[in-house]
Amino acid sequence: MLEQWGMSEKITACELGNKHFLFNFDNEEDLNSVLNQGPFHHNFCMFVLVCWEPIVDENYPSMVPFWIQLQGIPLHLCTHQNLEAIGDRLGSGQGRCCRGEDQG
């Protein structure tokens, strides 16, 4: 994760339970840099970093919007039906942006 975040200093981490972790940054510059880069993925899991608050709502965040880009799909399989099926497996979507639309 340090490489992905481009950290200049080490950080320490502590598991708090209920899928929550506490990261301690050595300096505020690194903290702000990492917070501005999110959300993140690691080992096929999406996660979000937020500044610690004494009371954490267990439902926060309940939704994390992010863009995906599909690569390596053969052109003849890039149909609206196939792309919708892939999207349905990923979850609900807020919109779409395609470089090319079905011509047939």
| Structure-derived torsion over alpha carbons of residues 74, 76, 79, 84, reported in degrees to the nearest 10 | -30
d(CA 100, CA 104): 12
Mean of per-residue pLDDT scores for the chain: 76
Whether residue 66 has pLDDT greater than 80: no
8 A C-beta contact, residue 64 and residue 80: no
What ranges do the domains of the chain cover? 2-47
pLDDT, tens digit, 9 for 90 and up, residues 23-63: 888 888 888 888 888 788 777 777 778 787 777 667 666 66
Residue 104 confidence (pLDDT) above 50:
no
pLDDT exceeds 80 at position 77:
yes
What CA–CA distance (Å, rounded) separates 37 from 29? 13
Determine the pLDDT at residue 93: 67
Supply the pTM of this predicted model: 0.50
For the chain, where are the alpha helices, taking DSSP H only?
2-5, 28-37, 80-90
Q: Tell me how long the chain is.
A: 104
